[in-house]
Structure 1
Amino acid sequence: MKRLQLNVLGLFEVRWTGAASFATGDYTLVYSGGDQHERGVGMLLDKQTSKSIKGYWAVSDRVLLIKLYGRPFNISIIPAYAPTSTYDDDAITDFYEDLDKAYKQCNSNGIVYVMGDFNTKVGNGRIGNTVGPFGLGAKNKRGDNHIISSSLIHGSRTSHVDYGHGKALETVREIK
């Protein structure tokens, strides 16, 4: 995190049980897991950012809400880990309901970041103001359904496919 100058880092497939937060060295880890060592989401915050934690809410083992004090606006961060397309539609629906629960707990005049592994392929075609034309691969069933409608409902955008400069892919290559 220091080398990349990151203040927060979303974690997915944490695989820890329960929900908690703890400080370790220069970082604070907040996580949410289920009853078994499966799934789980978390957020690693640097020392300075962790001083701004207002609170957190473990919505499920796939959705977490962390609220931070900020100026001029408070910040809410929602790390989320969606079921893969091998799960049935009920599991997917439950996930997006949990995501909506977390989103509705955010202050309407604050800044909200939703980050995660949505296990969806949105393809490379533009869809309104939500998905840009520079995605990779072919769209799958999940790309057609929930993530697009969820983004439209909340007026947000899927930013990782919005710009064609290739920086995201270069960054991934550098991290490896």
Structure 2
Amino acid sequence: MSGSPAPVRPGDPTGWSGVRDKRVLVTGGTRGLGEQIVRLLVAEGARVATCARGARDLTALAASLDSPLFTQALDVTEPERLEEFVAAMANRFGGLDGVVACAGGSRGGRFEEADAEDWAATWEVNVGHAARLVRAAVPHLRAAGGGSVVVISSISGWKPGPPVQYGVA
């Protein structure tokens, strides 16, 4: 199989109907895999919340969907903002059934160029945000009788390439 899969569009049959009416939060939901996860969940009838740094991207994504989408512009590395978003989503939807940690990225260049701050920032966006997301979600998932946690990572963890700090994270 070659090329990228076709994007999921509202109303497309996907065969993933087990998420109907589930309450799911996705970080990094306006681009790439995160956006496709949001679209898939919405197409199957889930109640979805997503966050990303760009308010304009969130507005465009919400406008492209036939179902409501709860969004908030935030940087997942800002202390307490992500935890507040999890609580707001759970309050708005009356609980939480799942979370998907999809926000990620890298700061700095090649190994010889990356400084300690680049390493720390890359670790924080890839690992720190996922840990805080799960920790904030656990009480809501337990209250709902269980739930699902998905942490998206990169092939760079298995087959690293520049920048090395991204592969490590």
TM-score over 0.5 for the alignment?
Answer: no
Relative contact order, CA 8 A, sep 6+: which one is greater?
Answer: 2
TM bucket (normalised to shorter chain) is: 0.3 to 0.5
User: What TM-score does the superposition give when structure 1 sets the normalisation length?
Assistant: 0.33
Pick the structure with more strand per residue: 1
